[in-house]
Structure 1
Amino acid sequence: MIKLKTNSIVKLCLSIVLCICFLQLPHVNADNISNNAAEFTISPVYSHEQKEDDAGYFDLNVKKSTTVPVKVKISNLNKNQDIEYLIKVGNATTNDNGTINYTNFKNKKDTTAKYQLTDFISKTELKQKVTVKAGSSSEVTVNLKVPKQKFPGTIAGGVYVERLTNSYTNEKNGMNTRNHFSMTLPVILTEQAKAKRIAKMELDKVMVKNGPEVIAKLHNVKPVMFGKLSIDSKITKKNHVKTLIHKNVNNYQVAPNSSFNFLASDSSNQLGAGKYTIDMHLQSGKRKWHLVKDFTITAKQGVPLTKRTGWLGISMVMWIVILILVIIIVGLVVVIVRQKQNLKTKNK
């Protein structure tokens, strides 16, 4: 009976592992990317605009009023089946966890960006499909039409390739697994041999969600891509110096002209209703920014007094009750002592 139960647990664990493997969507950025399970590879075919032949991605120095071909080689490793692929082009954005997403298809154009990668591509080439015969390779071309007006700094995005053949949802035996494989090649554009590296970070606004969660929206308002960004944030009561919440992160990467949400305080931090200040120090290499903004937590958003814990894990309400009782007891003791002293004085 015990052996049977153990086997059932092992089978259940194996099923969970398989589900996790199928549900993952691998987005890999590398030269001649390979994945045995995906049964295909992608690799860049460099044009003369490429800065380095061994970069592993498209790093292009372009000129105005030119058309630059971005070619991706797709190799079908399955020797028995033709496979169809979807090719899409997206723009670079910064994820909230401090990584760059090179193929965001849904974001609105950043208000500070003069251009984004998809502005240079015709609608017919933004999304394409190609079938690669078994055991062979095929090239897909996306033409970048560089405008007459010069653009400053860097523009970033990527070419996304997804396998369509045998990409399906399996709902048998009550399990929903998705067999899905995709890969990405970044595309970086500049018009200068050495693009300007002057970056500027701004704190657009502070948002508060019930809990409360305090979220600082940070914004890179320049066409500059950079990494190794460290963020040191502190939250204090407004016009106070005592730090209530402190958070530090390192090695964030930031896309050109992009914003991201930095979680400065989650619901595990017990901030009540009131006025607060967030003070942030950001640094990437020699670049430094000091950003400060006031914000308010409403009674609905903040942690109620009854749920806030204080010293020794005892709730704040209990501490208040204890304090009131101590004051009452001390007051009674003082009254009794004085009465006794008065009686002694009268008896004398």
Structure 2
Amino acid sequence: MKRKILFGLIALLGMFWLGNLHQVQAAEGAGFTISPALPQNQIDKSTYFNLLVKPGETQRLLIYVKNTSDQAKKLKVSPVSAFTQNNGTLGYYPNNKKDNSAEYTFAQLASEPQTIDVPANGQVPVTFDVKIPEQGFTGQILGSLYVEDPNVHKSGGGGMAINNKFAMLIGVVLQTSETEVAPDLKLMQVKPGLQDNQAGVLATIQNFKPRLFGDMTLDGKVYRQGSNEPYLTRHEKGWSFAPNSHFDYAIFTKEALAPGTYTLDLTAKAVGKTWHWRRNFTITRQQSNAIEEKLGRTPQKTPWVWIIIAIILAVVILILLWLIWRQRQKRDLWSEVKGVIQII
């Protein structure tokens, strides 16, 4: 019997907005730890890089990677730009979620990824140079130094194997001024789609300003055209938003998304500001069927098929009625003829 294979990813450490950090980051079973060497231009006592940098200068970031195992390790260290995940938390792992409002990103300004060899029970320093633009930049730039072991480590027993990949990170915040930039949001688009293998209406919200903020509440309602009763609703609170990023706020449905015209009513509140959007959108039969097929469900039959079938049935019934009427007319006429013949 085949052993069941489970793929697990040990929690990524160092997400400073989401919880407490420790000076040394470690995950049980990873076999390595990472720690930052904080420079003098550190803004506060955070244990991640929170730096006030100068325009035109090169900022050096230094971390120490320690191998706590008895075997040498080859690890990859990458500068990664932060983004906002669809569940309202910040992401600091490798991704392709670029935002068109970002003037600069951390991965763009930092030096290239590195592959390092760490001897058994040894420690190596790893440095990255971040080139600050000559004119500086407004607001904040977020990212991380992401350390991963590319090898898969097997564990488990009792007929079950677990394949673990280990990664850890140190957060990075850069700014050239301690003056805060006011955040601003925009509703980019509304469309039907899938998220976490669930159907729903996806509202893409963008923070197009270079400002990190949290404690955001979201209240979304979807109405059918001509109805005052919400068709779909979702309320969330305590969400975070990375600078110059976007995410898809999904308002889920357990049923198929019926084709038609709808209205989205969405409100976001954070840092003492309120944003409200109301937008009409259309779900086509093709979009609805595509979503159902991806979910492995049978798409709804298009109403036009049933309309055509109904028309055909109606025509057939009319023809049958006409034939019956013609038959009766012939019988009545023959009866009259026979009566005339008898009279004669």
Q: Normalising by structure 2, what TM-score?
A: 0.74
Q: Does 1:201 align with 2:191?
A: no
Which of 171, 181, 202 is the aligned partner of 1:186? Answer: 171
The equivalences for 1:218-229 within 5 A come to: 218-229=205-216
- Contact 1:245-1:269 at 8 Å conserved across structures: no
Report the equivalent of 1:215. 202
Query: Which structure features the higher share of helix residues?
Result: 1
What is the rounded CA distance, in whole Å, between the counterparts of 1:107 and 1:174 in structure 2? 38
What is the rounded CA distance, in whole Å, between the counterparts of 1:27 and 1:34 in structure 2? 10
Structure 2 counterpart of 1:45, one-letter code: A
Specify whether residues 265 and 132 from structure 1 end up closer, same or farther in structure 2 by C-alpha distance, changes over 3 A only. Answer: same
Larger radius of gyration, structure 1 or 2? 2
Could you list the per-position Cα deviations for residues 83-122 of structure 1 after superposition, in whole angstroms to 9, with x for gaps in the alignment?
Answer: 22110111111111111112334333x2111111122123
Specify whether residues 85 and 271 from structure 1 end up closer, same or farther in structure 2 by C-alpha distance, changes over 3 A only. Answer: closer
Which of 33, 55, 62 is the aligned partner of 2:53? Answer: 62
How far the C-alpha of 1:35 sits from its partner, in A, is 2.2
Which of 236, 251, 256 is the aligned partner of 1:264? Answer: 251
The equivalences for 1:19-58 within 5 A come to: 20=6, 23-29=8-14, 30=21, 31-53=23-45, 55-58=46-49
- Contact 1:152-1:195 at 8 Å conserved across structures: no
Which of 90, 102, 120 is the aligned partner of 1:113? Answer: 102
Unpaired runs of 5+ in structure 1?
Answer: 1-7, 309-348
Report the equivalent of 1:236. 223
Unpaired runs of 5+ in structure 2?
Answer: 15-20, 293-297, 301-344
Q: Normalising by structure 1, what TM-score?
A: 0.73
Report the equivalent of 1:336. none
Specify whether residues 182 and 283 from structure 1 end up closer, same or farther in structure 2 by C-alpha distance, changes over 3 A only. Answer: same
State the number of aligned residues: 282
RMSD in angstroms over aligned alpha carbons? 3.0
- Contact 1:215-1:264 at 8 Å conserved across structures: yes
Structure 2 counterpart of 1:33, one-letter code: Q
What is the rounded CA distance, in whole Å, between the counterparts of 1:212 and 1:42 in structure 2? 40
What is the rounded CA distance, in whole Å, between the counterparts of 1:274 and 1:153 in structure 2? 42
Over the matched positions of the two proteins, sequence identity in percent amounts to: 28
What is the rounded CA distance, in whole Å, between the counterparts of 2:71 and 2:299 in structure 1? 61
What is the rounded CA distance, in whole Å, between the counterparts of 2:126 and 2:152 in structure 1? 20
SS in 2 for 1:119: helix
